[in-house]
Chain A
Amino acid sequence: MFKRNLGKWLITWPPTLYLLIFFAIPALIMVVASFRFPGDYGGLLPLYHIDEATGRAVIEVTRENWRDYFTLENYARLTEDSVYLQLFIKSFYYAGLTTLICLIMAYPLAWLIARSNQKVRDLLVLLVILPFWSNFLVRVYAWMIILGPNSAFTKITNMLLGLLGIAPQSFMFSPFAVVVCLVYVHLPFMVLPLYANLEKHDMSLLDAAQDLGANAWQRFWKVTWPLSLPGVYAGAALVFIPALGIFAVPDLLGGTDGIMIGNLIKQQFLESRDWPFGSVLSIVLTLFALGLAGLAALIGRASSR
């Protein structure tokens, strides 16, 4: 039994070990941190000190005083100010909007790539991943310029708006700028899984549907769309989850209106030096995202019945 699975074990333990060390353990450390107090100069309040004479670690936590080291206070803080909840909701909203726009834009593109002939297809896939060849921050800065007050885009748009009698707009430092850039950054992550899925579709199913009386619209909704759902789910997860926690884009483009939960978490760890509260925010964000994914799976299963 063991012998037969030896090969399997040998191949799977390195990634397992890797995930254990660099994901599971840090996550556990963070969970513990969320119940502790911040240290005097950032970090966490130590649980032990080094005895100078012996050089040995002396644990300070005892049965009597553990309340001075562990607390639920950090979680309670979340409820004290509704601004946190609002920020969560807003982040979910931006990430959700980004996912939806990506889906709407990526679907026709992925479909087109999947239907082109082999040579064109390879070229188009290459073009989709081409932006990855430049640095992420460079791409975000490029949007600062594009959406800035002196760019051609801004000037032309405002001129057109002027013709319609609408006052000139400023695009930078706004939720609009954040979502535009989030869509731009995440679009390939939606296109690629959708393409991988659509490319495998059996075209004879569409012929069969048409033969049996389905018009173009019905062929899409009854055949192509349901069969592409695994690709849609994969793409949505690859866009929604990173978009939810992102801080660089709102940092640079969001201004005060456009900040997201990622900015707050980053702020807790860096500027405010409040690791415990930062941990709480991270954990709650993860739980929210997991809950949402679970809900989506439940709805998906129920609707496919």
Chain B
Amino acid sequence: MALLEIKNIVKQFGDFTAVDNVSLSIETGEFFTLLGPSGCGKTTLLRMLAGFEQPDSGEILLDGKNVANVPPEKRPVHTVFQSYALFPHMTVADNIAFPLKMAKKDPADIQKQVSKLLEDVRLAQFGNRFPHELSGGQRQRVAIARALANRPRLLLLDEPLSALDAKLREQMQIELINLQKEVGITFIYVTHDQGEALALSHRIAVMNKGTVEQLDIPEKIYGFPKNRFVADFIGQCNLLDGTIVEVGSDRMKVEIAGVGIAETLPAEGAKVGAKGTLALRPEKIKISSSLPADVADEVHFRGTVHDCLYLGDVTIYIVELENGLLLEAMLPNSASGQAKFFNDNDAVEIAWRFDAGHFLTE
């Protein structure tokens, strides 16, 4: 039996539907991520799990029991808030001890447990400090230690790293993964940062406008986005509008308007004449001043370099195809010291394997 079962929940604010018929099932020990753009209902969903909001319809089952009538303070679900919400009038140790005191644990045990937790989050020397005397990353760790203190069945994290700078964020991500493995508690993690979601999660639910667009493991989410929204939201992706012109058993042909025919893997339920989008990751596209045409299994086009973005490890070339269509291709800058292989307005040829792309029917 799944630890958490969310069945068809809906939450409305007035006429506005913030969470629209979402169903999820989350297993014990999982690191589960809700990923989506700002305002898509992630926080609202978390607040319903924590008990601060009641769904208008649908049910939430925790360990098989409906928690509709269980108030937040009685749910074995703790939250790491986006703003941390540390108690400013309590020391770090008192903050962490708070849930244990509320649970009326034995004072001697509380002390032991607080020291253990302080060590787990590498804050052993900071027990007597007040929250305002800590850095952002340290506060973050206190918030996590506090939420873990009473060993909840489920830990909810609402964009916990969004206030940190990039470097610290990466470091905290690694710490989070290790911590989750160590404590074995189920994490539901909310973020609008796709990189973070891919790096951390066992499974990801991509949300948009209150609904779940795709639920899958990170590799599938990245490699096989189910629709245009997911493809566009996760990482960089070229989206080429086209029409199916021929469907075979192991491949099909798509006409990309004004550019030509591209071979691709057959889409589910594909029919000749159906419109859709060919989703193609930039790193899958080969780019060179001349590439042999007519290679088996390859799609080949000509274009000119429109723009380049030098990113250090890689360079992104924006290539203009014959009808003015722009396509992004990415090349690693493996030769040290060489920033660019091509300049603006260079004529180039591009190619990709037929199975590199992924056709999304409408």
Contact = CB atoms under 8 A, between A and B. Distances in A.
Interface of A: 202, 204-205, 207-215, 218, 222-223, 226-227
Given A208-B79, A209-B98, A214 B73 contact: yes
A213 B102 CA distance: 6
A174 B141 CA distance: 60
Interface stretch (B5-13, B82-90, B204-212): B82-90
Contacts of A213: 73-74, 99, 102-103, 150
A276 B310 CA distance: 87
Residue of B73, B99, B147 with most chain A CB atoms under a 10 A cut-off: B73
B108 to A, nearest CB: 19
Contacts of A212: 73, 78, 98-99, 102, 146-147, 150
Given A212-B78, A212-B147, A223 B102 contact: no
A207 B102 contact: no
Contacts of B86: 208
Contacts of B147: 211-212
Nearest to B75: A211
Given A211-B147, A212-B99, A213-B150, 13 more contacts: A202-B85, A204-B83, A205-B85, A205-B88, A207-B72, A207-B81, A211-B72, A211-B73, A211-B79, A212-B78, A212-B150, A213-B102, A214-B73
Contact of B85 (A208, A218, A222, A227): A208
Nearest to B102: A213
B341 interface: no
B89 A227 contact: yes
B88 A204 contact: no
Contacts of B73: 210-215
A205 B85 CA distance: 5
5 contacts: A205-B87, A207-B79, A209-B87, A210-B73, A213-B102
Contacts of A226: 89
B103 A204 contact: no
Per CB-CB distance, the 3 closest pairs between chain A and chain B, nearest first, are A213-B102, A208-B85, A212-B99
Contacts of B85: 202, 204-205, 207-208
Nearest to B72: A210
A227 B102 contact: no
Interface in B37-70: 50, 52
Contacts of A222: 87, 98
Interface string B20-33: 00000000000000
Contact of A208 (B71, B81, B103): B81
A302 to B, nearest CB: 15
A227 B102 CA distance: 18
Given A212-B146, A214-B73, A207 B52 contact: yes
B136 to A, nearest CB: 16
Contact of B102 (A202, A205, A218): A218
B291 to A, nearest CB: 56
B248 to A, nearest CB: 56
B78 A223 contact: no
A158 B146 CA distance: 57
